[in-house]
Amino acid sequence: MRKSKKERQNLLKETIDSTPFITDEELAAKFNVSIQTIRLDRLELSIPELRERIKHVAEKNLDEQVKSLPIDEVIGEMIDLQLDHSAISILPIRQEHVFSRNQIARGHHLFAQANSLAVAVIDDELALTAKANIHFTSQVKEGEKVVAKAKVIESQNNKGRSIVQVESFVHNKVVFKGTFEMFRSNQV
């Protein structure tokens, strides 16, 4: 059953607020309308296109800089960073990331994205992975975007260690989970 325009626009706004990196194509499929209808709805609601939403999220955190490694060494595009709290990156899976025979992403790329995000979130000049417990929960295919979300869940003041949990998603489905014990040179 189709929703009224007002209902659809309210749900569209809620969906984009909770999932800012959703594409117009995904929204059109979700609401069973054309892409043009989604674009018109976004225009009426003053919601920018995906590229502008990503850029806006990245710009609001310009005053915080990654301390533990050069930003270009973070695997994926860092779009959010709150040092010693949380971070988000996006990794588009391209041909160079997949096995040629089945176009499934190689696991070390998903691990590298999560691990570099766990390092980047630490507010210290030196942050190293001491231990990692990881689980690959679903395959990722070429053309998909992996959104990794890191969260510092514990800081052990007396040991100079932090625990960072990372979950990676494709279309809101968890594809990777990792818990990283991070060594840091200063004690929190």
Residues 44 and 117 in one domain: no
Residues 11 and 52 in one domain: yes
- 114-154 pLDDT, tens digit each: 999 999 999 888 889 999 999 999 999 999 999 999 999 98
CATH of residue 130's domain is 3.10.129.10
Residue 60's pLDDT is 55
Number of domains making up the chain:
2
Note whether 74 and 101 are same-domain residues. Answer: yes
Q: Is the pLDDT of residue 58 over 80?
A: no
Residues 111 and 149 in one domain: yes
Same domain, 75 and 168: yes
Domain containing 138 equals 63-184
Question: pTM higher than 0.85 for the full model?
Answer: no
Residue 82 has pLDDT above 70, yes or no: yes
The two tokens of residue 127 are 């942050």
Reply yes or no on whether the pLDDT at 167 is more than 90. Answer: yes
Do 80 and 49 belong to one domain?
no
pLDDT at 7: 93
Distances 149 to 16, 132, 152 between C-alpha atoms, Å? 17, 16, 10
Give the model confidence (pLDDT) of 8-27 as tens digits.
999 999 999 888 888 999 99
What tokens appear for 154 in the block? 């514990």
Is the predicted pLDDT of residue 62 greater than 80, yes or no?
A: no
Asked whether residue 29 falls in the same domain as residue 13, the answer is yes
Same domain, 99 and 115: yes
